[in-house]
A and B are shown apart, each in its own frame.
Chain A
Amino acid sequence: MKNAVFALIGLALAFAPMSGYQEGIVVLLCINCIAAMGVSLLTGFTGIFTLGHAAYMALGAYTAAIMTVRHGINWLPAVMSGGVVAVAVAWLIGVPTLRLTGDYYAIASIGLGEAIRLVLENWRSLTKGARGFPGIESYTTRFVAVAFFTAMGIVMFNLINSRLGRELKASRDDRVAASLMGFDTPSSRMKALLISAFYCGVSGALLGGYMNFIQPSMFDMMKSTELTAVVVFGGLGSMSGALLGSALVTSVMEYFRDISQYRMLIYGALLVLIMVLRPEGLLGSREVWDFLPNRRGGGIKP
Chain B
Amino acid sequence: MTATVNDRPLLELDSVDMFFGGVQAVRSMSFVIRDSELAGIIGPNGAGKTTVFNLISGVYSPSRGSIWFREQDITPLSAYQVNRVGIARTFQNLRLFGRSSALENVMTAAQNRYRYSFHENMFGNLSPCYRPDPDYYCGFVESALHMGRWAGREKKIRDKSMELLDRVGLADRAGQAAGTLPYGMQRRLEIARALALDPKLLLLDEPAAGMNPEEVEALNVLITGVHRDFHLTTLVIEHHMDLIMAICPHIICVNFGAKIAEGPPEEIRSDPGVLSAYLGDDGKEETE
Tell which of A80-88, A118-126, A162-170, A219-227 binds the partner.
A162-170
Cβ of A251 within 8 Å of any chain B Cβ, yes or no, is no
Contact B138 A163 (CB under 8 A): yes
- Closest Cβ of chain A to B201, distance in Å, is 13
Q: Which residue of A158, A159, A181, A298 is within 8 Å of B193 (Cβ)? A: A181
Contact A166 B111 (CB under 8 A): yes
Contact B96 A184 (CB under 8 A): no
What per-residue 1/0 map shows which CB atoms of B62-99 lie under 8 Å from chain A?
Answer: 00000000000000001111111000110100011111
- Closest Cβ of chain B to A232, distance in Å, is 15
- Closest Cβ of chain A to B139, distance in Å, is 9
Contact A296 B108 (CB under 8 A): no
Contact A180 B143 (CB under 8 A): no
Tell which of B12-20, B33-41, B118-126, B144-152 binds the partner.
B144-152
A170 vs B154: C-alpha distance in the bound complex, in angstroms?
17
A159 vs B141: C-alpha distance in the bound complex, in angstroms?
9
Cβ of A302 within 8 Å of any chain B Cβ, yes or no, is yes
Q: Tell me the A126-174 residues at the B interface (CB within 8 Å).
A: 155, 158-159, 161-164, 166-167, 169-170, 173-174
Contact B98 A162 (CB under 8 A): no
A285 vs B108: C-alpha distance in the bound complex, in angstroms?
18
A163 vs B138: C-alpha distance in the bound complex, in angstroms?
8
A296 vs B83: C-alpha distance in the bound complex, in angstroms?
30
Chain A residues near B144: list those with CB within 8 A.
155, 158-159
Contact B103 A298 (CB under 8 A): yes
Chain B residues near A169: list those with CB within 8 A.
97, 99-100, 104, 108
Q: Tell me the B101-122 residues at the A interface (CB within 8 Å).
A: 101, 103-104, 107-109, 111-112, 114
Q: Which residue of B91, B111, B140 is within 8 Å of A177 (Cβ)? A: B91
A258 vs B145: C-alpha distance in the bound complex, in angstroms?
42
Contact B154 A179 (CB under 8 A): no
A170 vs B178: C-alpha distance in the bound complex, in angstroms?
12
Contact B108 A167 (CB under 8 A): yes
Cβ of B235 within 8 Å of any chain A Cβ, yes or no, is no
Cβ of A237 within 8 Å of any chain B Cβ, yes or no, is yes
Q: A176-B59, A180-B88 are in contact. Are A158 and B80 (CB under 8 A)?
A: no
Cβ of B176 within 8 Å of any chain A Cβ, yes or no, is yes
Cβ of A293 within 8 Å of any chain B Cβ, yes or no, is no
Contact A298 B143 (CB under 8 A): no
Cβ of A111 within 8 Å of any chain B Cβ, yes or no, is no
Return the chain A residue nearest B57 by Cβ: A180
Cβ of B175 within 8 Å of any chain A Cβ, yes or no, is yes
Chain B residues near A176: list those with CB within 8 A.
59, 79, 91, 95
What per-residue 1/0 map shows which CB atoms of A177-193 lie under 8 Å from chain B?
Answer: 11111111100000000
Contact B158 A300 (CB under 8 A): yes
Cβ of B52 within 8 Å of any chain A Cβ, yes or no, is no
- Closest Cβ of chain A to B129, distance in Å, is 16
Chain A residues near B138: list those with CB within 8 A.
163
Return the chain A residue nearest B162 by Cβ: A302
Contact A298 B96 (CB under 8 A): no
**What are 22 A-B contacts defined by CB distance under 8 Å?**
A161-B146, A164-B140, A164-B143, A166-B104, A169-B97, A173-B99, A173-B100, A174-B96, A177-B95, A179-B59, A180-B59, A180-B79, A180-B80, A180-B83, A180-B88, A181-B109, A181-B197, A182-B109, A183-B80, A298-B101, A298-B103, A299-B104
Given contacts A177-B91, A297-B103, 13 further A-B contacts (CB under 8 A): A162-B146, A169-B100, A173-B97, A179-B78, A180-B59, A180-B83, A181-B83, A181-B112, A182-B84, A182-B112, A182-B114, A183-B80, A237-B99
Chain A contact residues, CB within 8 Å of chain B = 3, 155, 158-159, 161-164, 166-167, 169-170, 173-174, 176-185, 237, 285, 296-300, 302
